[in-house]
Structure 1
Amino acid sequence: MLFRVKVNEEAGTLDISVSDTGVGIPKEKRGELFNRFMQSSFSANSVGVGLHLTHELVNIHKGTITYRENEGGGSVFTVTLPLHADAYEEKDFLKPSRLQAEDPAISFLDREEGTETDGRDDLPQPGASLNPRKVLIIEDDDDVRRFLQEEISRYFEVHAKPDGKSGLEEARAYNPDLIICDVLMPGMNGFEVTRRLKEDFNTCHIPVVLLTALDSADKRLEGMKKGADLYIGKPFSLKYLLTCIMKLIEQRDKLRDKFSRDSSAKTNVLVASELDQKFIDELNALIGQRLADPDLSINDLMTAMHLGRTTFNNKVCGITGYTPSKYIRLLRLKKSAELLLEQKYNVSEVCYMVGFSDPYYFSKCFKQQFGVPPSCYAGQERAGESEEAETKE
């Protein structure tokens, strides 16, 4: 293989050519070279998609890509790119957005290349968590899939599958925190994968990011209607994709944290689908019916909801961020906070009313959850309400 780069000052272009002396490309296939799914016996599975993406990138940069037969056999591809700024319109130049300038969480997008950190220090570091977030990639193109897996695995635990069918199976078995799925795949496309994920009880809580070269408003709308949480057009910035992944996970964490810190037992965790809402409503009702029972077990809930252990655990963790046992304890503590505010019962009475059998352990858990011992909770809450009322006046 031979790689040549030439600056054509007269034409004002940069000419890049790649040639080989292989088997070449059949004449009947040459008109399809830059199509999305061009394949033939001479190529690996990824060639068609790779050329298609190259063609799209070259077009964005106002260039051209051409093919010709190599005289000695094989192929020659030539990319020609304009060297002068006047070849582009103002909208073609990347400008830092207000969001990038103001949000420290994605400030790495504004850094100049060549800085010491290159933006990576602002991202989660490999091995930073004993229980890393899990990302599933569903992408049919071998090159793109390997690239995404290599880059994203720097920050998250990653599994990858080459098609929609195996991707759906892996989503059920792997229980990822987020799924990245290509749209244009042979067989089952990304829209169909997303629809099935969102209609499946086991996976409907998992956020989905769709990646595609079909970046029209209609296609975006179709993706959202199928249940996608985000739709990103190709070609895309890797840093932008990583930021979106982090933001989606962070938003869910914030909603869970808000639910956790809210002392009202009437406040439900926010969910993204009707299936999840039905599940959490049934679970909360079952726990509420036996809240005073210290012997309430995970097995009791699984049996009542007709679910296996793995499915039940994955679903509770996926929606609430808690293991089933910790979620039960959280609901007990939230109910105890409501009872303490009524000031009708002492701490020991409340302890037993919500299913704790040890007042000392109850007090310890309560303080961990709400920051104060249960004996001081009602007074502090009322003091806080008084201060808020005075501030409004």
Structure 2
Amino acid sequence: MMKWKIPIYQNPDQKLPVLLVVDDNADIRAFIKQTLGDSYTVYEAENGEVGLQVANKLIPNIILTDVIMPVMDGIELCGILKSKKETSHIPIVMLTAKSSEESEIEGLIRGADDYISKPFFIDSLRLKLTNIIKTREELRKRFNRDITLNPTDVTVTSADETFLQLAMDTVEKHMMNTDFSVEMLVKEMGISRSNLYLKFKELTGLSSSEFIRNIRLKRAVQLLEKSDMSVKEIMYMTGFNTASYFSKCFKKQFGVIPSEYLEQQSLQSK
């Protein structure tokens, strides 16, 4: 397999979503670069095989891929990326000149998020990409907002649902262990530290350490609402070993310290 030098069309230091364009037509890649470079950090690949290399290395925020390409087509690329836990969360939009619905159906079966036909209006493409990015952002906000967690509510693919459920179950399993760390989570999840971080960021908007703390705090608030345990007991039950740190984290997440939260719940129940 030939190694591909990754061309970049936008300063990666700019905090823009990373868009990977996979198309064997250099003119189309250049057109998309020129028109979307103000909104995305744009990378390119000339076929699915190169696109797979680039996607595995960069973990882009979104991929736009042609369907019909030499070496590896877009449908095979989509199937591979959506089946791997490191990349299954990446939204993929298929670009096709086919008039039949066959390729669209096959791509959707493989996990493609949307389709756009050639020739296309750039405003339509921009809107599709923007809507996908916004939808993912709303799912991340929902994860942080909702106290009761259900991976099916905040994930798009079954692979991501499985991943998030395993991550939550792993934190739950070690809930009382104050020494449970990101390194331990990495080991149990069977994914590299950097890929775990990127995966959590895309699915939840949180870093790996923030994810662990988030699950602990959500369990703490559930216990405050539904149990007769004291704040101190709940603190230890959820893996916090100092009252000051527990209160600080709790207030940052829910706006009040645990004792104030209990008071609010008591007033609401009257």
TM-score, normalised on structure 1? Answer: 0.61
Q: Are 2:26 and 1:138 aligned?
A: no
Equivalent of 1:285 in 161, 169, 182: 169
The superposition leaves residues 327-361 of structure 1 with CA deviations (integer Å, 9 ceiling, x where unpaired) of 00110110011011125123333222211223222
Match of 1:203 in 2: 87
Contact 2:26-2:46 within 8 A present in 1 as well: yes
TM-score, normalised on structure 2? Answer: 0.87
> What is the 5 A alignment of 1:1-393?
131-264=15-148, 266-268=149-151, 270-381=154-265
The superposition leaves residues 177-196 of structure 1 with CA deviations (integer Å, 9 ceiling, x where unpaired) of 11110112122211121111
The superposition leaves residues 271-297 of structure 1 with CA deviations (integer Å, 9 ceiling, x where unpaired) of 233332332222222111111222111
Q: Distance in 1 between matches of 2:205 and 2:117?
A: 30
Match of 2:7 in 1: none
Question: Partner of 1:158: helix, strand, or coil?
Answer: strand
The superposition leaves residues 107-148 of structure 1 with CA deviations (integer Å, 9 ceiling, x where unpaired) of xxxxxxxxxxxxxxxxxxx99x96432111111111110111
Q: What is the CA-CA distance between 1:381 and the residue it aligns to?
A: 4.6
Aligned residues: 259
Q: 1:343 to 1:283 in 2, by over 3 A?
A: closer
- Ranked by relative contact order (alpha carbons within 8 Å, sequence separation 6 or more), the top structure is 2
Q: Identity across aligned pairs (percent)? A: 34
Q: Which runs of 5+ in 2 are unaligned?
A: 1-9
Contact 2:139-2:203 within 8 A present in 1 as well: no
Q: Distance in 1 between matches of 2:14 and 2:268?
A: 37
Q: Distance in 1 between matches of 2:123 and 2:259?
A: 49
Q: 1:258 to 1:177 in 2, by over 3 A?
A: same
Contact 1:140-1:185 within 8 A present in 2 as well: yes
Question: Partner of 1:211: helix, strand, or coil?
Answer: strand
The superposition leaves residues 199-225 of structure 1 with CA deviations (integer Å, 9 ceiling, x where unpaired) of 222211111001112143333222211
Instruction: Look at both structures and tell me which one has the larger radius of gyration over its CA atoms.
Output: 1
